[in-house]
Amino acid sequence: MNFSIRFVQYAACTAVALMLCTISATAASLPERVTFASADGHTTLVGYLFRPEAPHAARTPAVVMMHGRAGAYSSTADGRYDAATLSRRHQEWGHIWAQQGYIAILVDGFGPRGYPQGFPRFSYETRPEQLNEVAIRPLDAYGALAYLRSRNDVIADRVALQGWSNGGSATLATMANIAPGISAPTPATGFRAALAFYPACGLKGQFPDGIRTYAPVRMFHGSADEEVSPRGCADLANKSHALGSDIQYRLYLDATHDFDDPTPSRRDNPANAQATRDVIPRAIAFFASVLKP
């Protein structure tokens, strides 16, 4: 087994992890809708801002969150796309970060470009180029970063990145620093670290030898993922590690794509529930290690 890969079948269910896994998004306050410019130079993006819920200083670290191919909203949004119809997963993670005393912002990169409902499975080849996860969506991440850095309640050099599925792929591309017009970011001027949940790792064929990340990255997959290739991501992680990148890959046995989605169709799967209980405290500890002084 390559040392950069970690396999998990059973995870301890701590009281803290269980509490975080079962947050009621409806009982918590809704995030604030904000707008800001993408670094693509012409798109005004929508973001949903989660404010710290724990005791915090006047200025706090922050997390940028990138949704997957289904978009930012619930499948039951029925034409209403706002803070109240964000998917439960995005709301829960936003509140998880807020509970750590961070500001978190979920970036809606699809809605402002005319695709608020996102895309169904296996539609990859027909998605418009304006949503390219390697060339375009990283510019949205950097647009969110610039917005956060402009706020007087954010510690400008302590911002992290998290993405799921297609947004996870965008996260990997962002940390590889290939976005046009973005010049050589460092952990202090770019993102301190990143979490990529079940990304597709083909990345438009641009990284056959791996990626060189400028800050630490942690990837998580389920071995029963039915949408993307865990083996391909393990291979990318190994190649990237060989290039000197601080990147680690963790595989959850029998967990599926979207394993942290709190809807019954996913969470009722015992492997998904176990994976979620394991990944939340790991994610919290990882970001704490790079965001907190």
Distance CA 164, CA 251 (A): 15
How large is the average pLDDT for residues 26-49? Answer: 90
What confidence category does residue 22 fall into, taking pLDDT thresholds of 50, 70 and 90? very low
**pTM for the whole thing?**
0.91
Say whether pLDDT at 8 is over 50.
no
Instruction: Report yes or no: 215 and 194 within 8 Å, Cβ to Cβ.
Output: yes
Distance CA 79, CA 84 (A): 12
pLDDT tens per residue across span 218-253: 999 999 999 999 999 999 999 999 999 999 999 999
How large is the average pLDDT for residues 35-48? Answer: 97
pLDDT tens per residue across span 174-207: 999 767 677 889 999 999 999 999 999 999 899 9
Say whether pLDDT at 86 is over 70.
yes
pLDDT reported for residue 27: 45
Neighbours of 45 (CB within 10 A): 24
Instruction: Report yes or no: 1 and 7 within 8 Å, Cβ to Cβ.
Output: yes
Cα→Cα distances 194→63, 112, 118, 136, 207, Å: 9, 24, 23, 18, 18
Decide which of 21 and 67 is more confident: 67
How large is the average pLDDT for residues 265-293? Answer: 96
* Of 71, 62, 156, nearest in space to 110 by CA: 71
Decide which of 50 and 20 is more confident: 50
Q: What is the mean pLDDT of the chain?
A: 89
pLDDT reported for residue 236: 97
pLDDT tens per residue across span 134-188: 999 999 999 999 999 999 999 999 999 999 999 999 999 999 976 767 788 999 9
Decide yes or no: CATH 3.40.50.1820 for domain 5-291.
yes
pLDDT reported for residue 201: 96
Residue 250 per-residue DSSP state: E
Amino acid occupying residue 101: G
pLDDT reported for residue 184: 87
Domain boundaries in the chain?
A: 5-291
What confidence category does residue 10 fall into, taking pLDDT thresholds of 50, 70 and 90? very low
How large is the average pLDDT for residues 11-30? Answer: 46
What confidence category does residue 125 fall into, taking pLDDT thresholds of 50, 70 and 90? confident
Distance CA 131, CA 137 (A): 6
Who's near 147: CB < 8 A, 6+ residues apart? Answer: 34, 36, 37, 47, 105
Cα→Cα distances 250→2, 32, 223, 266, Å: 11, 33, 10, 19
Residue 270 per-residue DSSP state: H
Helix (H, G, I), strand (E, B) or coil at 76: coil
Strands 154-164, 217-222: pairing is unpaired
Say whether pLDDT at 12 is over 60.
no
How large is the average pLDDT for residues 57-75? Answer: 95
pLDDT reported for residue 120: 72
Instruction: Report yes or no: 215 and 246 within 8 Å, Cβ to Cβ.
Output: yes
Q: Which two tokens stand for residue 5?
A: 């890969």
